[in-house]
Amino acid sequence: MKFDIKYIVGFALILFSQGIKAQFYVGVQSGIGNIQSDVKGVGSSTEIGGALKAGYIYSLTDHIGLGSGIEFAQYKQKVFLEQPSATLTNFEVDQTGSAFAYTITTSNYKECQTLQAIQIPLFVQYKKNINKGVDFNFRAGVKYFLPINYKIESSATTAKGIGYYPDVSLYIDNLPEYGFGFQSNYAASGEYNTKGIFMSTFELGFTFQMGEKNALYAAMFLDSGYGSILNQKKNESYLSYNPTSSTDRSANGLYSIDKDATVKPVAFGLTLGWNFK
């Protein structure tokens, strides 16, 4: 463990010492931020996302540089069932240890998702002067995308939970004290379990010299994740089973119904930054 700590600290000091001779930057990103998924029967609406960023670019040659930094990103979107009234079934276990099929039927279900993450980029920059005080820039690289939290706010006009015990061919649809029954104006919050993934990142833009040591940077960017940010071991009902109440179901979220689903961030938009030495 001591070796690991010394190695990490030493590596950080090397990067910092190189950064002293580098060009630093701060900036913001804004554009279309989407959390893409391949969960069947689920749709989403795209909203504006954004990020705050800071870092440095170390010049290897007059045209090539190596950059890194840290970013705080936020994605927001609304997710819904493609059918206004939909029924989904999952398997649960009740308080006595008996397994049953748990069927949830909702009308007008939707969830508002907010994903916040730390992004650590590592990229190569190509720079070429095209006019006095104007440089063309192209950046390509990877980012490590580490979710901080992925919260959901769920709602539905109605929600109904039905249990079916196949061993005895028993349906239960109106036993509220055991979690089966009808509820109107459903509303609950929840959170997805997540893990880090890698993203590809590209930027294409220009820098405009604003002085000897300062420049304005403007560019278009495209970020796309690889793999899934969900960390889930089993399929779950999008509204959880509560063995003691039919009106107090927590929200697991629509992406929880498929543990093998690919859920990844994708963003496209504009970057505006300030470079300084």
pLDDT score of 62: 87
pLDDT band at 127 (very low <50, low <70, confident <90, very high): very high
Number of domains observed in the structure of the chain: 1
Q: What is the mean pLDDT of residues 48-74?
A: 91
Express each pLDDT in 230-270 by its tens digit: 998 888 889 988 888 888 888 999 999 888 999 999 999 99
Q: Are the C-beta atoms of 145 and 197 separated by less than 8 Å?
A: yes
Confidence band for 14, pLDDT divided at 50, 70 and 90: low
Local structure of 35: helix, strand or coil: strand
| Residues spanned by the domain of 34 | 2-276
What does the angle CA 236 – CA 242 – CA 246 come to, to the nearest 5 degrees? 115
The conformational region for residue 166 under phi > 0 = left, psi -120 to 50 = alpha, else beta, is alpha
Percentage of the chain lying above the pLDDT 70 cut: 92
* Helix and strand numbers, DSSP H then E, in the chain: 1, 12
The pLDDT of residue 60: 87
Residue 259 and residue 240: Cα distance in Å, rounded?
Answer: 15
Confidence band for 18, pLDDT divided at 50, 70 and 90? low
Q: What percent of the chain has pLDDT over 90?
A: 57
Distance, CA of 112 to CA of 221 (rounded, Å):
25
Confidence of residue 4 (pLDDT cuts 50, 70, 90): very low
**128-147 tens-digit pLDDT:** 999 988 999 999 999 999 99
Per-residue confidence band for 8, with pLDDT thresholds at 50, 70 and 90: very low
pLDDT tens track for 182-206: 999 999 999 999 999 999 999 999 9
Band (96; pLDDT cuts 50, 70, 90): confident
- Among 17-21, 62-66, 82-86, top mean pLDDT goes to 62-66
pLDDT of 1 higher than 60: no
In this prediction, residues 101-120 reach a mean pLDDT of: 93
Q: Average pLDDT over the chain, rounded to whole?
A: 88
Q: 10 vs 61, which has greater pLDDT?
A: 61
| Distance in angstroms (rounded) separating the CA atoms of residues 139 and 88 | 44
CATH classification at residue 16: 2.40.160.20
